[in-house]
Structures are given as structure tokens and as C-alpha cells.
Amino acid sequence: MSRRAGDARTLFIGDERKELKYSERAVDYVIVNGLCPTNRESWTSGENIFWPDEWLFRPNPNARLCHVTNGISHASSWEDLITEGESLLREVDQFRPDNSNVTNVPLIFLCYGLGGIVFLKALDLSKNRQSQKTLNVQTTGVVFFGTPLAAQKQSDLKKTLQNCATVELRLSQAKWPAPNSSITQEISELLNAVKYITFKIVAAFEKSESSLGQRRQPFLSKKTVIVPEHIAKAKDAAPFKCVGYNRDHLSIAQLDRSSFGVLVQTLQTIIDNTPYTIDANIPDTGIQLSDETSGLSTQPQLYSILQPGNSIQSIPSHLSISVDQIDYTSFSNEAASLSDEVSRPRTFSEQEVSSLSLDLSNRLSLVPDRASALDHWSSTEGSNLEAKLPCHEIPFGQNPKFCGRTDTLLKIEEALLKPQLVGENKPRAFVISGTAGIGKTQTALHFAYHHKEKFPSILWASAETPNKLLQSLATYALTLGIISKPSEFAADAEKLMRWYRSTDTCWLLIFDNAIDSDLVLNYWPSACRSGSILITSQDPYFATKDVAGEGQELPQLDDKSAIALLLSSIPRPRGTKQEAQEAAEIVQRVGCLPIAIRTVIGQITEDDCLLSEYIEQWNTKDFFSESKVKHVNTVNARYNKSLKDLWADSFKSLNAKARFMMHVMSLIDTENIPEDLFRPLKDDTLAIKFPFLRDRVRCIRDLIGSSLISKNIDKDEISDRYFHLHRMTGAFAQMQMDAESQQAAFDAATLLLENKVWIGEREERSAQLKQYFEHVDALVRLVSLQSTTAPEDLHGSKLRQSATFVSLLRKMAWLCYGQRLFRPGLKLIKHVEDIYNDPFKREEVSGEQAKLDVELVWIYYYHGCFLTLTGNPKDLIESKMCFDTALKYHQACREAGFDRRHTLPKLSALKCGLGNALHGLGHQVDAEKAYLEGLEATPPGELFPLSETLLCRCLLFQGPARLQEASERLQKVIARRIEKLGANDTKSFISGGAGNNYNILGNLRIAQARDILATEDQRKRYLDDAYQLHLKALESWTTIFGGDHHETADVCHKLAWHRAEKQDYNNAILYLQRALTIYKSPVNRDYRRGEMARTNYKLSLCHEANRNYDEAREAKMRAEELRKEICKENSMEFHAATGEDSYDKLVNIWTL
């Protein structure tokens, strides 16, 4: 890639336009990015191969490409997007200047996401130019990837555009603002003009929903298909083609080779059908070829024959060159363009053909693959046997119940059916890998049957053993007819390999269940022109560049396909909604594993029971032990192993260290297991305690090679490798453990996780929460499940929980508190409290008693902190009780001397927590006392005690007489903090840092402005000061907490109040909408319903003042519905709201 023109956002690729020769084909591509950023991964594939070179340049060697990346970000506006149309037009002018030789060169635009709007704007701007310079005249075709082209109502269009922008910008905290009415109208007019386009249009649309996912997926309020077919297709536009993908909007709207591969053939057809004129000055070679039926010169066609990708064998059916009576005629429908009638071929000597080929190749800088032709000649010399085609040797019938796997099949098609590349002299290959029973063979089988017409020759070869493979190859050679009678397997197999290497027939060779890569490579037709190889294997090594070079691990079936497979096969289907829900529950239990679903079907058929009855009897241990071969070996899908035997051989082949690692992995979350978990700290003794950690790399290699675990393929993960294992593989591993092994694995998992949690700075702890929470939660679910399982159904004995396990849960709970993840954090806290409150459970906990007592203090302290922030009055009462209990146990531990061996919470923190609970309950005098006691107990070295800041907030609610005292005190805290940490510090995540000080002082200023003794000038000064303080609080909290924290939403609401006071309702509405977005996020919505009601009501007032009466009515209705629900849940009498005061009562006092 070379940057030759344009600014930093424009990339021109390809050579400068040369003087075109007679047979050379040129094309210009312009790629227009939408809002999705271009990254290295989307531009390259494999070993940093530049994918446009593969997909665009090789079929058209004289192609050029201009890539324009729009300079749009989350800080930009819709106006900026529209303005990019003018920039695009300038780039195209620079790419195709007036003085260049591009008059008839096709121009293709590839527009991604909202880049399509940029193109339409450029198209509109160019219509006032001279006719030859308008884009409508220059453009040959355009492909829109996820652009909403359909005309819609203004409100619907706004929503669609907003969703597109949110997803394309990968916003994870809030939606991008919707366009205003004027911008929406302008875009609507651009879309309406699509029907007047005269060039070809292709629109790619998505079929999958976009939503908030676990891997930094964009924010949407609910799952939705943003640009389905009816929105991607412009009405009355012709010629128009739509192509659907089973992907979400982000996958479609970013530059990605896999998305583009499906459209290559359509794009090439557009190029090939474009009229194209160049000057044909070809020197006389002394040999004239002509088509006797038409009288036209065929010299240009011969040039085409020797183009890249063609050889002597590719001569059209009406042209024939014979070398000593060896006929190299190829009947190609695409090449035979002058006549279907075959004229009498002229015969040349081998010397003449060689001279002709050399002369023409020199003129075109090409080298015909004459060596391959002569190899073909020698390999068939003395043999008059021709292949009997078509010849499809597939030992299994087509499975009528096959479902799903659309994405994988698309990738196989892209790999094996893509156009032959220039100079390519090797088979195209693809590997389907994955755990046993995942459906690799059935997927390969479906591909083979679905594309039989594209491959006249198909061989399905069993590659489990050398004997099976040789027998498959040799038998096919006889069936194909290239040998007249069988001989040694090896000799016949080699003859088949020679046929593969020499034939022009499209063939497909499937190596099923490959185990040994050396065996497969021994029978790999490495030099061929028209072959494809498909491999199924449990070992992902086959997909490396040392073998096939491309492949995919087959994922579990999607839920929809898994449910369809189950319901289509049960003996007594009822077709009810309840039955569908029962099927969903079953497929989730077996992890959507096809062989496990087949086992379920077999057991249901054998027992002749309903799905509901099967669920009632479910037991994982019995599910494995009672599985049989007959359950999975059916007429539609043959399989020779039962579920219980599926992974047995793999487990037996593991050494003791790898087996122990597998045991640990089976107990934690099986989806995202970081390699870093098994990498002890340098000063750690874990490697001595657990020897498998020293052999981590070898153990992982063995587990991957046995297909028990797989590497996660995630472009977002850069620093470390992640692994996963199927749920049923994990369940099988647990079945292999006796009670002692399971306890050892549980203790190891606990120690490894505790070793990784609660270290480093705040940013690192936030990453630890994301990386390890699911694994800790998996251990909690395991022990909880055991506590409710009958002893006779339990595999082994119940796991013993340790003081280390209690400490792990407490630390992870506090990480949840830091991110305001109340529900998961409280779950961990209550699990530990349940242990302490049950004498029998507490006796079972191993570890030092002093450590357990100290942990209890921490647990009650953390529980109180969680409950204080929920905003629920009942929770505040319980919060006070938790702090009182923590203080009591704290005193007891200190008297017993436990604080000399273990770290207790600071007394100042406990007192501060008690003050928070009292403050939330409205007991301001008692809260002030608690804060002062906390301040007194603060260690001397602590510069910024939280008690002092919160004391000022408490004084705010004690009347006008205390406002000045609180204000002066807090100003000193802020000045002291700026002196030590600077004006923009981001310290103290838990306390909110500087943002907390600014927010409270801003609230104090508002209270001072409301004082009846304040003059008008003082009131204005106070309010202006409050506004600036709240802006600082927003900036600080956005940095410290992130954009989705509920306290960030609180200050947004306060800023909306400021703007409404200034009658700036548009900005007030924006702040309120941002606050609502945060409150409604999955993290907050369960505990912020009061805030949602209050914000909706304020939003209705702003809309009404702005004369948006429909929006005002809707917002007010939402507010009242929420207030009614909250009143009912808290046994409060409901009355119609009388104003903002009615909604202020619904929220925590800290929010006001």
C-alpha cells in the first residue's frame, strides 16, 4: 500500500494508469467508509495479505483503488457527515482527473454503512456539472453495505439513522443523537433520488439483531435488526439487487473481506458487461488465426487465452491448436463468445505453439503455464481412458434435517468457490475444526450436496487411518474411470493424484475426520489448476499455513437451529408455545451440541415421553451414563460413538498435568478462560503447589490438540490468549473426577482466581472484574447447585468452601461495587452471609477462624455500602443494620487481637458508611455525628477523608443557617486537593474524587440561590457558579466512572435543570435524554426506576415548553406509569402527580 495523494484520510492504491494494451482490463474502485473506523484486521487477512489485492486486483490486474475514510467520530455531528459528500467528490476528481485515460474505465463505489449517505450527497452535488463529469455518468455500479436506502417516515428514518450511527461508532454508553428535522429531511430527499439512478445498484442487508453484548458491542435499548431487506432496498430503483447476510449491522457496515466475498461474482459481472474501448495496435506475429464462421479476427481472443488464469488448455471451442495430434481444446461457455459452430482447427507444430506463446507472453509480460500442459501431456500419454463425469462418491445420504451453519457455509463457499487467482497453481482448501459431535461431518456433507453441480468430481475420503484413506482414493480412481482395473492401493491413489494435478475439471476432495497431517499431505495434489480440498478434523492445526491455510472452528448450533432440530425429530410434537419453551430449556442444558441433541431425541423416543416429562427427570450424570450409540446413529446422520464415549479417548491420552488443568477449566466459566489465569505472579508459590502451571504451554497444546479446548478468535483481544471448551465437554470432565480430584480442582481454581483479583490500580481492577467475574460466579453456582442436589444424584461429595474462597467472593463483590454492578455484587455478598448464618455450613468452611471473623466484618461493611446506593428506603434501613453489625464485629476482632494478623476495614470507613445510611433516611443530625466520628478516626496520613466531603452534603439539608459553613469547608477541601493533585485529578474512584466535591458544592450554590435573603445579583452569581461546578463534576465523573455510571446521569439531570432555567430547552432535552439512556442501561435499570420516572417527567416539561406536545405527552405517560409501579411496590398511596416534588420523593436524597 502506498499513500500517493489526498490527505491523511485518503489512500490511493495501485499503479498510475499506464497506456493500456489491447487485452488489458482496467477498473477503478472507490471505497467510502461510513462511521466504522478502518483497522488493520479489516484490511488484511492471513499472513497480512491485503485483501483488495486478492479480491479486486488479481481478477483485474490493472485495477486501482481509492479508499476514503470519513473523519467522523462520536464528537462530530450529522452536519459533518453530510459535508463529507463534498470531500468525496474532490477525492474522486483527484483520483480520476480530466487529463487521464479513464474515459471508458468502469468506476465502482463500495459504500459501507452511512458512507452510502456520503456517496448520495456527492452524487447530488455533481448533478450541476457538465454531463461527462457527473457521478451518475461516470459510475458503473455501487454496492451499499448496510445503508438504509428505503424512503421512510421522518420519525422512523431518524431512529434508523441514529441506530446506524450508534452501532458504527461502537458507542457503549449512549446512543448518538438523532439527526434534527432539517438534516433528516435532506437525507430523505437524497434517498428519494435513488430511484433516478441509472447505474447498477447492489444492497447488502443484515439479518441478525444488533444489541448490547459482552465484547464491547454498541449500545442499543433493545435488540433490533437495523437495516433489514425492506429498509436496504430503495423502491422503484432499477437495476437493483439485494444480498442478505446472517450478521449484525456492525459486521456489515465495516470494511471486511468476508462480507465482500459473497458479492465478488456480481461485481465482476458488472465490470465485464461494461462497454470498453481501447486502441488495438498489435504487431503482426506472422500467424493469423481467424474464425471462419464469422470472418472476424480472433487475435484478441488468443491474447485473452493467455491472460492470467488461462493457459493453452483454455482455448475456446471454436479455436483449436493441435500439437502432434494432442488436442488442447477446452469448451468454455464464457470464452466462446463469437460462435457456437466449431470451425476446422488448424494444426501447428509444438515449436510453432511454443513460439507463439512466448511471443504473446512477452508482449503481455505473462508466462503461460506450458509446463503444466506438458505435464498433463506426459501423464496421459499411452492412456486413452477418460474420466466418467460427473462422478460423485459420497458415502452418506443428504441429511434432510440439517439446519443452521449459514455463516460457516458462507466462509467455505468464499474459500472454495472464489474465482481462480492469477498464477494460482494450487488447490483451494478449507478446514472445519471443532470438538467431537459438533457437526463437522454434517456441515461438510451439506456443502458437498449443495454444490454438486459446481464440482463434476467429488470424493469423500475417510482420513482416520492410512488404510482407510488409501482405500478411498484407490476405489475412486476406478469409479472415476481413469484406471481400467484395480492394482495396489498406493499405485491407484497416485494415478488419481496425477489426474487431480492435470485436469481442468473442477474437483472437490473431502478429507473427513483427519487426524494425522502428514498422512493428508502425502495425498495433497499440490500443483493443480481447478481443485478444492475440504477437511474435517478435531485438530485446528490443519487450518494453519503449514497445511490448508484457512479454516474455522465450528461453533455450537445457534439456539433457533438447535430448537428446530429437536422439535423436528421428537416422536410426539404438539406444536405449542410451551413446547418450544421446553425445547429451548433442553438445548441450553446441552449447550446446543448436535450429538447431545440427538442423544436427547433418542432418549425421548426410547422412553416415549414429552419434553416436560424429560425435563422433570433430567440429571446430567444419568444423561451421560444412559447415552447409547443407537440414540445418535440414525438414517440421516451416521455416528459410531455414544455421548459417554465421545471424549473418552481424548481424556485417556492426557498426562496428569494436562488432565488436572482440564479439571480446573471444567469448574470455571467455559466461555472465556484467559491464559493469564494460569500464569502465577513472580513472587508466588502457586507454581510449587500446582506443578502443571510450570508446564502451562505444553498442557494447553495437548488440550487443544485433543480438541477438548479451543482458542477464542477475537480481534479485540490483543494482550493475551483466551480459550473455551464446550459446556458438555466440561460436564464430561466433571464426571471423570472423583471427590478428591474435584476438591483439588476447586481449591486450585479458588487460589488461582484469588491470586489475580484485587491487585494493581483502579484501571487494572476494572479489567479484573471483566476478566474474572464469570469464573468466580461459576464456582458460586457450582457449590449452590450442590447444596440443592439430593445426595444420591450428587457426583462425589459436596465441595468444602474455604476462607480463601470467602475472601475471593468478598473482593470480587467490591469490584462490582466499584462499577455499580449491584445485583451480581449483592449475590456474592449474600452467598457468604448464607454460609455464616448457617451453623452447619460454617463448620464445613476450612481455614483459620480469625480470618473468617475478619472477613465477616468486611462482608457486612460491603453489604451496607451496596444497600445505601440502591435508593430504596427499605434498603437504607437494612443498610444501617449492616453497618451497626460490622461495627460490633470490628470491635470484637480488635479486642481479640485479630487486627494484628489480618487487615480490618478502617473504623473511619465504617462510621462514614453509617453516616450515609442515616443521611439517606433523613436523620441528618445523627448522620452529622457519624461523619464527625469518622473524621476523628481518620488515620493521620489520609489527606482527603471522605467523611469531610459527605459531612458538607449532610449540612446542605439542615437549613440555610448551615449552608455557608458547608460551603467554606468544602472550598477548603477542593483547594487542598488541587494543591496536591492538580485541577483535573482522577483519583479516588470509590468516593467519586474531585467530581464529588464539585457536585456537592454546586448543589450548595443552588441552595444558596434559593435563600430568600439572597439578592438578585447574588442569586445569578450562585447559579452561574453552580452550573460551572456541575460541568466540572460531569467531566470528572465521566473520566472516573465512565459514561454509563448512574452518578454521571445524576449530574446530567442537574445540568438539564440549569439549561431549563435559562429556557435553553433543546440542550436541556439532550442532557435529559443522556441521563435516561444511562439509567435504562442493564447496569442501572433495576435500581434507578425512580430516577427514570423523575427524568421522564422533567423531559415532558421541557418538550412542552419547546412545543413538542406529542413527545411531552409520551414522556409524561412513561413517568406516571413508573411512579405508579414504584408506589405499589413500596406500599405507598398513589395520587396524580402535582409537580416535580411528586417525583423527587421517588429518588435517593443524594440524587437531589
1035-1046 pLDDT, tens digit each: 988 887 777 788
Per the structure block, which three cell numbers stand in for 938? 481518620
The CATH number assigned to the domain holding 981 equals 1.25.40.10
Same domain for 1091 and 1025: no
pLDDT of residue 339: 30
pLDDT of residue 285: 34
pLDDT of residue 301: 34
pLDDT of residue 13: 63
pLDDT of residue 916: 92
- When comparing pLDDT for 242 and 964, which is higher? 964
Cα(442)–Cα(586) distance, integer angstroms = 22
Whether 346 has a pLDDT exceeding 50, the answer reads: no
Whether 620 has a pLDDT exceeding 90, the answer reads: no
Q: What is the DSSP letter of 591?
A: T
pLDDT of residue 763: 61
Whether 335 has a pLDDT exceeding 50, the answer reads: no
pLDDT of residue 193: 87
Same domain for 1077 and 1015: no
Q: What secondary structure does DSSP assign to 308-340, as a single string?
A: TT--GGGB-TT--EEETTEE-B---TTT--S-S
pLDDT of residue 662: 94
Cα(988)–Cα(990) distance, integer angstroms = 6
Whether 1011 has a pLDDT exceeding 80, the answer reads: yes
pLDDT of residue 1028: 95
SS3 state of residue 383: coil
Q: If pLDDT is split at 50, 70 and 90, which confidence band does 1057 have?
A: very high
Whether 235 has a pLDDT exceeding 50, the answer reads: yes
Same domain for 563 and 549: no
Same domain for 1030 and 979: yes
User: Last residue of some domain: 645, 660, 692?
Assistant: 645
- When comparing pLDDT for 7 and 1014, which is higher? 1014
The CATH number assigned to the domain holding 442 equals 3.40.50.300
Whether 348 has a pLDDT exceeding 60, the answer reads: no
Cα(1062)–Cα(1071) distance, integer angstroms = 14
Same domain for 564 and 532: no
pLDDT of residue 793: 62
Q: If pLDDT is split at 50, 70 and 90, which confidence band does 963 have?
A: very high
Same domain for 1138 and 1011: no
pLDDT of residue 169: 83
Whether 1064 has a pLDDT exceeding 80, the answer reads: yes
Cα(248)–Cα(957) distance, integer angstroms = 50
Q: If pLDDT is split at 50, 70 and 90, which confidence band does 255 have?
A: low
pLDDT in tens, 371-420: 333 333 334 433 447 889 999 999 888 888 888 888 999 999 999 987 66
pLDDT of residue 1105: 93
Q: Taking residues 547-566, what's their average pLDDT?
A: 89
pLDDT of residue 213: 43
Q: If pLDDT is split at 50, 70 and 90, which confidence band does 33 have?
A: confident
Residue 308 belongs to some domain of the structure: no
Q: Taking residues 258-264, what's their average pLDDT?
A: 61
Q: What percent of the chain stands above pLDDT 70?
A: 79
**CA distances for 756 relative to 328, 454, 809, 811, 1059, angstroms:** 68, 54, 13, 11, 46
**Phi, psi at residue 849, to the nearest 5°?**
-65, -40
pLDDT of residue 980: 87
Whether 360 has a pLDDT exceeding 50, the answer reads: no
pLDDT of residue 463: 92
pLDDT of residue 25: 67
Per the structure block, which three cell numbers stand in for 699? 498442557
Same domain for 523 and 586: no
pLDDT of residue 796: 62
* Pair 655, 705: CB distance under 8 Å: no
**CA distances for 9 relative to 1, 37, 352, 646, angstroms:** 14, 11, 53, 53
Same domain for 247 and 141: yes
* Pair 769, 819: CB distance under 8 Å: yes
Same domain for 549 and 564: no
User: Last residue of some domain: 614, 645, 676?
Assistant: 645
**CA distances for 1007 relative to 38, 1014, 1023, 1077, angstroms:** 49, 10, 9, 28
Whether 652 has a pLDDT exceeding 90, the answer reads: no
Residue 229 belongs to some domain of the structure: yes
- Of all helices (H) and strands (E), which one includes residue 1041? none
Cα(473)–Cα(486) distance, integer angstroms = 11
Whether 1097 has a pLDDT exceeding 90, the answer reads: yes
Whether 729 has a pLDDT exceeding 60, the answer reads: yes
Same domain for 1074 and 942: no
Q: Taking residues 322-347, what's their average pLDDT?
A: 32
Residue 430 belongs to some domain of the structure: yes
Cβ atoms < 10 Å from Cβ of 828: 24
pLDDT in tens, 154-203: 889 999 999 898 888 877 667 788 898 889 989 998 998 888 888 889 88
Q: What's the sign of the alpha-carbon dihedral 824, 825, 827, 828?
A: positive
pLDDT of residue 786: 80
* Pair 444, 463: CB distance under 8 Å: no
Range of the domain at 470: 391-553
Cα(187)–Cα(78) distance, integer angstroms = 10
Residue 80 belongs to some domain of the structure: yes
Same domain for 537 and 418: yes
- When comparing pLDDT for 687 and 160, which is higher? 160
- When comparing pLDDT for 815 and 219, which is higher? 815
Q: If pLDDT is split at 50, 70 and 90, which confidence band does 58 have?
A: low
User: Last residue of some domain: 272, 302, 319?
Assistant: 272
Among 332-336, 490-494, 1038-1042, the range with the most confident prediction by mean pLDDT is 490-494
Residue 685 belongs to some domain of the structure: no
**Lowest-confidence pick of 81-95, 160-174, 324-338:** 324-338
Q: Taking residues 599-605, what's their average pLDDT?
A: 89
Per the structure block, which three cell numbers stand in for 856? 465477616
pLDDT of residue 37: 62
Cα(746)–Cα(778) distance, integer angstroms = 11
Q: Taking residues 85-106, what's their average pLDDT?
A: 79
Q: Taking residues 259-282, what's their average pLDDT?
A: 56
pLDDT of residue 885: 93
Whether 101 has a pLDDT exceeding 80, the answer reads: no
Residue 1084 belongs to some domain of the structure: yes
Q: Taking residues 444-461, what's their average pLDDT?
A: 94
pLDDT of residue 918: 93
**Lowest-confidence pick of 3-12, 89-98, 692-701, 814-823:** 3-12
Whether 666 has a pLDDT exceeding 90, the answer reads: yes
Residue 369 belongs to some domain of the structure: no
Domain count, the chain: 5
Same domain for 70 and 195: yes
Q: If pLDDT is split at 50, 70 and 90, which confidence band does 683 have?
A: low
| Residue listed under C-alpha cell 494432442 | 326
Q: State the chain's mean pLDDT as an integer.
A: 79
Whether 976 has a pLDDT exceeding 50, the answer reads: yes
Q: If pLDDT is split at 50, 70 and 90, which confidence band does 911 have?
A: very high
Q: If pLDDT is split at 50, 70 and 90, which confidence band does 15 have?
A: low
Residues 298, 301, 306, 307: what is their CA dihedral angle, to the nearest 10 degrees?
160
Own/partner pairs, 711-719, CB within 8 angstroms, 24+ separation: 711/540, 712/672, 713/553, 714/215, 715/39, 715/41, 716/215, 716/216
Residue 830 belongs to some domain of the structure: no
pLDDT in tens, 747-792: 999 999 988 887 656 666 677 888 899 999 999 999 888 877 666 6
**CA distances for 223 relative to 152, 1059, 1108, angstroms:** 20, 33, 28
The CATH number assigned to the domain holding 178 equals 3.40.50.1820
Q: If pLDDT is split at 50, 70 and 90, which confidence band does 257 have?
A: low
